[in-house]
Structure 1
C-alpha cells in the first residue's frame, strides 16, 4: 500500500494538514477594525485561530489563556482588548465565565462568537462591526481616522501608479 503525501492537496484541492485564519477585507477595511489597538488586533487573530469552521459561538478563551497566547503579562490590558473587540461589535460573548461549577462538568472560560462568520444554527453572520464606530475624541477614534487616512493615501497612490517602492534591491 502506497503512503499518501500529507502535504499534497486532495482531489478537491484541499490540504488536510493546513488550516488558515480567515480575515475578510471588509473586516480589515472597516472603521471598527481600524480603531483597534495592537493588542486587540492580536487577540482577534487568536480568536480567529480557534475557529475551525464549525465551532463559531463555542470559542472558549479566558483572559488568562489569552494573555498566555499573546505573550502578555498584564491581564488588565488583555481584558481591555476583549472589551474593545466587544464594544466595536467584532465579537460577542455567548456564555459567561462560571467559577461555581466544577471543572469536570463544564468549562469555566468565557465563550465567544466572531460576528463576521456564520455560527452553527445561524443563517449568516451578524456583521455587527459594520455599524459600530468609536466615540469621537477617544484614542480609538483617532486610531481609526489615522488608519483610514493611510489606507486612502495608499489606494490613491496605487491607483495612480505612484507607490513609494515599486522595486527593491533588498
Structure 2
C-alpha cells in the first residue's frame, strides 16, 4: 500500500512537475485512475476494511489490547491523524480549483500499474480472513504446542545418533 501511495503521488507530481500540494489542485477529476489508486492506498494505510492493512492493524490492536490499552489507543490515534492528513490531500486534489492553463494527461502506463496494485490491495484485504483462518491460525497453534516440537526434535536426535 505504501508503494502504491508513492507511485500514485508520483503520477501527480510528474503531471505538474512540482511537489507543492497546491499545484496539484483539481487534478483528481482529470486523472481518475491515479486518484482512485491514491484513495485505495491512503485508505489502506489508515486501516479501513476490507483493504489489506486493516487485518494487520486489527491483529496488532487486539494483541496490544491484551497487554496495554495505552499502546492500542496510540494505534487508533495515529490512524486518525493519518486519515486527517490524507483528507487534506484529497480535498486539494479532488475539490480544489484547477490551475489556469494547466493541461495534464493521465499517463496510462503509470496509472495502470497503480490500478493493478490498488486491486491487489483490495483482493488481499478480501482474502485475508481466509488466509488467517486456513494458514496462519493453524501455524500459530502448532508453534504453541511445545510437546510436539520437543518430541520431534528428540526423535530426530535419536535417529541421528543411531
**TM-score, normalized by the shorter chain, greater than 0.5:** no
RCO greater where, 1 or 2, for CA within 8 Å and sep 6 or more?
2
Relative to its length, the structure with more strand (as a share) is: 1
Shorter-normalised TM range: under 0.3
- TM-score, length-normalised on structure 2? 0.23
TM-score of the pair, normalised by structure 1: 0.22
